[in-house]
A and B are shown apart, each in its own frame.
Chain A
């Protein structure tokens, strides 16, 4: 997968492309961790995310927990197939989806 990151001040937009699964989630997590320290507004642009597994969900959950302490986190442009997974797993009520 490829991950586009845009940092503007303390606002970070992360746009993963492709599949966030068992294989790709560790890379996604370490990319995220590298930039998270000073961030107060975290935006995930999921327009090009086509699949997410529990491993990907866990990365989003730990990001949400980190952001709860210091700012906001939102998910944008969520595709229907990803939304379906958020709903099955109850993540749609934990995450802020715009």
Chain B
């Protein structure tokens, strides 16, 4: 259905990627993952020519869309696009948002467009909400309306640019089930996302972009659980890890707790684990890094999240201390009682340059 050959894109003299070859079959849900700045969204936007590639070819159903004589509007009618920030018209009702393009572009009568819009709203679980104002909807509801609006043009292909990034984790499910239902109806989906949990669940095939090209591709189980390339392994490992260097001078407990919380929320987690984060700051990091007499010189903090369970691990390496940070003079019974209550277990061990504390988060 979509055939990409030797596609190359440069911005000024920087090559985003070169010689990309990718075939996408009808009904597939292909998810493109990769580091920030790796050109995921650029590749997606080349498929409907919102961005012009420098060289190569893109064929949709055998028609080269980059050729000078191509009717790009006819090609674009086969394709819908769903954006991270929904892009609904805020001054129009849900219904008006959906019927606008069918009436203006496809020449459908208002009566038919309204009838179909109602069906589409039911399909995305929004029946009866046609008169709502977009501002009154949750993020998940807005994204489902945006999908209904795209469906109103009967696309064969839908391009999704980070469709879940602006959503609260609790709303990802509702959007995900709508996207899944599309592939069951034979609509081809190409999705760019940085949410690897979502990618694993939704993809029939995952494409990992790195080093200016496709580094590895395959079914999600293969790519996520048995990545063949070292590059992919590193990317997956790093993506599960939050890392931060801490020093007594620059320690900002509130900022740190909120960054840790945001990272943890991308994974399956329990309330108790979220509660551990401020406790970690108050009962361990502060007493050790800000000890009035023998503070640690610095610390490196790592939160390693599990993809398959809610057993996450915190590792804090304190440098420049000679004694166990879990004991006096750093921590007393009160600190430990609080830490131990919210953690599964807390351990410490001597290292060459200090001490390391390992906290299993349940």
Residues of A participating in the B interface, judged by any CB pair closer than 8 Å: 19, 21-23, 51, 53-55, 57-58, 85, 88-90
Contact = CB atoms under 8 A, between A and B. Distances in A.
B338 A53 contact: yes
A25 to B, nearest CB: 9
Given A22-B253, A58-B334, A88 B282 contact: no
B338 A89 contact: yes
Contact of B337 (A19, A23, A89): A89
B281 A22 contact: yes
A58 B282 CA distance: 13
Contact of A21 (B282, B334, B335): B282
A51 B337 contact: no
Interface string B285-315: 0100000000000000000000000000000
Nearest to A23: B253
Contacts of B278: 19, 21, 51, 53
B335 A54 contact: yes
A22 B331 CA distance: 14
Interface string B318-362: 000000000000001011011001000000000000000000000
Contacts of B279: 53
Given A22-B253, A23-B253, A23-B254, A55 B338 contact: no
Given A22-B253, A23-B253, A57 B334 contact: yes
Contacts of A90: 337
Nearest to A51: B278
29 contacts: A19-B278, A21-B253, A21-B278, A21-B282, A22-B253, A22-B281, A22-B282, A22-B286, A23-B253, A23-B254, A51-B278, A53-B278, A53-B279, A53-B282, A53-B283, A53-B338, A54-B282, A54-B283, A54-B332, A54-B334, A54-B338, A55-B282, A57-B334, A85-B338, A88-B337, A88-B338, A88-B341, A89-B338, A90-B337
Interface residues on B, range: 10 to 19
A21 B277 CA distance: 13
A54 B332 CA distance: 10
Contact of B334 (A19, A22, A23, A89): A89
Considering the complex of A and B, which 5 residue pairs feature the smallest CB-CB distances, nearest first? A53-B282, A54-B334, A88-B341, A22-B286, A22-B282
A28 to B, nearest CB: 14
A60 B253 CA distance: 22
Contacts of A22: 253, 281-282, 286
A86 to B, nearest CB: 11
A23 B334 CA distance: 17
Name, among A22, A57, A85, A89, the residue most crowded by chain B CB atoms within 10 Å (CB to CB).
A22
A88 B338 CA distance: 7
A88 B254 CA distance: 23
Contacts of B253: 21-23
Nearest to B252: A23
Contacts of B332: 54
Interface string B31-48: 000000000000000000
A51 B275 CA distance: 10
Given A88-B337, A88-B338, 17 more contacts: A19-B278, A21-B281, A21-B282, A22-B253, A22-B281, A22-B286, A23-B253, A23-B254, A53-B279, A53-B282, A53-B338, A54-B283, A54-B338, A55-B282, A57-B334, A85-B338, A90-B337
A18 B175 CA distance: 35
A53 B278 CA distance: 9
A34 B47 CA distance: 69
Contacts of A54: 282-283, 332, 334-335, 338
